[in-house]
Structure formats: C-alpha cells, structure tokens
Amino acid sequence: MTDTSTLARGGGRHSSSPGRGSNRRRPARAKGLPNWAVPYVLLIPGLLVIIGLLVYPLIQMAIMSFQKVGVAQVAGKKPATWVGVDNYTSIFESEIFWTALRNTVVFAAIAVPLTLILGTAVGVLLQKLGRKMSLVLIVGLMFAWAVPPVAQGAIWRWLADGERGIINWALNLLPDWLSNLLFGRSDWTGEPWLNDAWSIYMILILCVVWAGIPFVAVSVLAGLKGIPSELYEAARVDGSGAWRTFWKITFPLLKPVFAVLTVLSIIWDFKVFGQLVVLGGQTNREAFNLSMYAVAEAFKAPPKMGSGAAIAVVLTILLLIVTAAYIRQLFKQEEL
C-alpha cells in the first residue's frame, strides 16, 4: 500500500503479457514530476469534489440531525440550536416513520429479486436468440431503459388510472368466471390503484421492475458472452439440461456480475423517488418511503431540516448495513 513505484498494479491477468524482451525491461521513468507526487496531483480535482461535496456534507448531515434547523436558521437569522436526540425521538414516535420504513424495506425486498430474476431470464434469452432477433429485442429494451424515472411514473400512473387506464381495461377483458375465480369480482371499472399504499407499491413494483430489466438483461448478456462456449459444449455432451447447466456453469461464473447487479438494484430501489412522487402523490403520507419522508420533513412548510436529516441518517445507515457484506467481500477478494 505504501509502495509508490509505478509498476502496474498486480494484475495477475496481464502481468506476463508484454512480449518485449525481459532483459530490456527496467523501471521506466518519465520526465517531469517525481513519481510519488503524480497520483496525488491527478487525484486533486476528484478528491476536492468527493470530500467537499460528499464526505463533508455527510458529516454535516449527521450534525444537523441533532439540531433544530428551521427557516430562520437556514436563512442565517438565528444560529442552529442543539436539541440532543429530540429529532430522533420525534421521528421514532411518528407513525409515518414506521410506515415509511416498512414501505422502503418491503418494496426493495420484492422489487430487487424480481428485477434480477426477470432480467437474468431476458439476458439468457438474448444469448440464445439469433443475431437479428437479439438485436431487435435489445433495441426494444433500450426504449424502456431510456425513459426517465419521472416519466416512468407518469406512464404507469396513466396505465393504472381508475377509469381510463389500460390495467383495468385488460382486467375487464378476462372472462367473468376466471376473474371471479381469481379475484372474486368481474367488474374492474373505476378500480382505484393509486389510493392505497399497498396498491400504489404494487404499481411501483411493476414500474421499477419493468424499467430495471433492460440493464440487468444486457449486463447478464455481456457476462454470458465472456463464458467460453466449450464449457457449454461439454455440458451438452454430458447430457446436462438447461436448468442444470445454468446452475453448474453460468451462475458460478457470473457470480461477480450478479453481486454488482444486486448491490446496484438495492441502492436504486431503496431510495426510489421520482416514480413514487408521481405515483403516490405528495400528500399521501401512507405511501411515503424514507426518501420522500426525509425531503418532506426538510423542505415542506414549515421546514424541519433537523428531523429531515435524522431520517436521512437512518436511511443511509440502513443502506450501508444492507450493502456492507458486499463491500467487505469486494475488499477481501479483489485486489483493489
């Protein structure tokens, strides 16, 4: 770690690659700055941004969560006052906090696996398809991928509209006996999907999974392309079925891919915001998740930045705990 030599990082993969005669190889030096200083100079802009705009604000956030910060304090008319753990006790006493926490966790627990499973299935499908069909499907996925979160929310709110939404129209198409058998009703006209927290989140899951599939599928496809086809040949000769092949060959080799995809999905789904703002509306507090609750406390009248910060701290800690295993693993196995 303290080694400041300019030798390429110990990439076992390409350390022996140079075809140049090893006798000619010597520690190469360029002109200009001394070697030890170069990385630090290169890092200056990045470090400034990361420390100034991420690390320092994070510390501020933690400090603010123990203060009362209203309009007067933000505007600089009064100094922030220390209130101890008051912000925390008041949010823990609030019913909204526990609903928001439940919404956040349950939503992620359902949406993340669904996105990964369906996305992987589409990725595997992409690999098995012929060239043309595969390209067509990828282009189709790109369309869904390209829709910005707020627009995704708008689209799904429209699809789930009580009277003019396609979802109710499609449910009405089901034969009455089937609909009665499945749901105990046959008339779906005017069914409100966006009133109740659970149905809002159901639509949100559909929306987020739909929008998340393309990224997972394309990543899995790229991973699959990296697996030598001989392995599959061998599996076929052994008479291994598709399911077995997936678990014996594909999954173990793609494990790092899945690890990254899982963590990214967790991060994205834990703090889902744009879609929820549009689907749930800003006044339906039963449908708040922690992100929405934090900004609502901090920025809505009258602003309580202190308790907003306290909620943000809880959300951040939660995310770090959930992803801690992954971070540790990365540090262990990867030569960083």
Partner 1 sequence: MRISKITATTVTTAALALGLAACGGSEPAKPSEAPQAGGSSAAATPAGKQFAGKELTLWRLGDVNPAAKKYTDALTAAYTEQSGATVKVEWIPWPQVNDKFTAAAAGGAGPDVTEIGNDQVPLWQSQEALEPVTDIVSAGDQAQIPKNLMGLETIDGETYAVPWGGGSRAVLYRTDWFKELNLEVPKTWDELLAAAKKIQEAKGKDVDGFAFNGGSDANHLLGALAWTGGGEYAVKEGDNWVSKVTEPAFKAGFEQYTNLVTSGISSKSRLNQNTTDIRTRFANSKVGMYLTASWDIPGIEQDSKGKIKKDKLAFFPLPAKDGGEAASFFGGNDIAVWGNAKDKDLAKDFVKFATTKEWADRYALEGGLLPVYSDTLAKLAEDPDQAPFAKAFAKAKAFPADPNWTEANETKAVMQNAARQVIEGKATVDEALAAAKKEIETILNQS
Partner 2 sequence: MTPYARRLIGKIGMNALAVIVLLVMIFPVYWMVSTAFKSNEQIFTTEFIPFPTDFTFEHFTNVLTKGVAEHSIWLYLGNSAIVALVTVLIGAVFALLSATAIARFRFKGRTSFLATLLIMQMIPAEALVIPLFMNVKRLGLYDQLAGLIVTQIALTLPFGIWMLRTFVAAVPKSLEEAAWIDGASRFTTFWKVLFPLVAPGLVATSIFSFITAWNELVMALYLINDPTKYTMPVALQFFFGQRGTDWGAIMATSTLMTLPVVIFFLLVQRRMVSGLVAGAVKG
Stretch that binds partner 1, among 178-186, 201-209, 211-219, 278-286 (CB under 8 A): 278-286
User: Minimum distance from CB of 30 to partner 2 (Å)?
Assistant: 4
Following CA atoms 53, 55, 58, 62 in sequence, which dihedral angle do they give, to the nearest 10 degrees?
Answer: -140
275 closest CA partner among 111, 141, 156: 156
Under 8 Å between Cβ of 266 and 323: yes
- Max Cα-Cα span within the chain: 83
Instruction: Find all residues with CB under 8 Å of 196, minimum gap 6, and list them.
Output: 286
Contact flag: residue 299 with partner 1 (CB under 8 A): yes
Q: Which does 72 bind (CB under 5 to 8 A by kind): partner 1, partner 2, none?
A: partner 1
Q: Which does 195 bind (CB under 5 to 8 A by kind): partner 1, partner 2, none?
A: partner 1
Q: Which does 284 bind (CB under 5 to 8 A by kind): partner 1, partner 2, none?
A: partner 1
Q: Which helix (H) or strand (E) holds 152?
A: helix 149-159
Write out the binding residues for partner 1, residues 163-192 only, by CB under 8 A.
163, 189-192
Contact flag: residue 72 with partner 2 (CB under 8 A): no
User: Minimum distance from CB of 78 to partner 2 (Å)?
Assistant: 14
Under 8 Å between Cβ of 309 and 61: yes
User: Minimum distance from CB of 246 to partner 1 (Å)?
Assistant: 43
Q: Which does 286 bind (CB under 5 to 8 A by kind): partner 1, partner 2, none?
A: partner 1
Write out the binding residues for partner 2, residues 217-246 only, by CB under 8 A.
218-219, 221-223
Query: What does the per-residue mask of binding to partner 1 show for 43-72, with x meaning CB under 8 A?
Result: ---------------------------xxx
| Residue 295 in tokens | 């900004």
User: Closest CB to partner 1 among 62 and 161?
Assistant: 161
| Residue 65 in tokens | 């969560």
Residue with tokens 């109710």: 168
User: Minimum distance from CB of 48 to partner 2 (Å)?
Assistant: 9
Q: How far apart are CA 256 and CA 330, in angstroms?
A: 10
Q: How far apart are CA 103 and CA 125, in angstroms?
A: 32
| Residue 104 in tokens | 């956040």
Write out the binding residues for partner 2, residues 80-99 only, by CB under 8 A.
none
Q: Partners of 68 in the beta sheet?
A: 81
Contact flag: residue 117 with partner 2 (CB under 8 A): no
User: Minimum distance from CB of 110 to partner 1 (Å)?
Assistant: 21
CA distances (Å), 269 to each of 102, 203, 265, 334, in order?
13, 14, 6, 26
Q: How far apart are CA 279 and CA 204, in angstroms?
A: 7
- Cis-peptide into 149, omega within 30 deg: no
Contact flag: residue 84 with partner 1 (CB under 8 A): no
User: Closest CB to partner 1 among 72 and 320?
Assistant: 72
Tell which one of 146, 178, 182, 234 touches partner 2 (CB under 8 A).
Answer: 146
Under 8 Å between Cβ of 274 and 211: no
Contact flag: residue 216 with partner 2 (CB under 8 A): no
Contact flag: residue 128 with partner 2 (CB under 8 A): yes
Write out the binding residues for partner 2, residues 283-302 only, by CB under 8 A.
290-292, 294-295, 298-299
Instruction: Find all residues with CB under 8 Å of 269, minimum gap 6, and list them.
Output: 107, 108, 111, 112, 115, 208, 212
Footprint of partner 1 on this chain (CB under 8 A)? 70-72, 74-75, 77, 96, 161-163, 189-196, 281-286, 296, 299-303
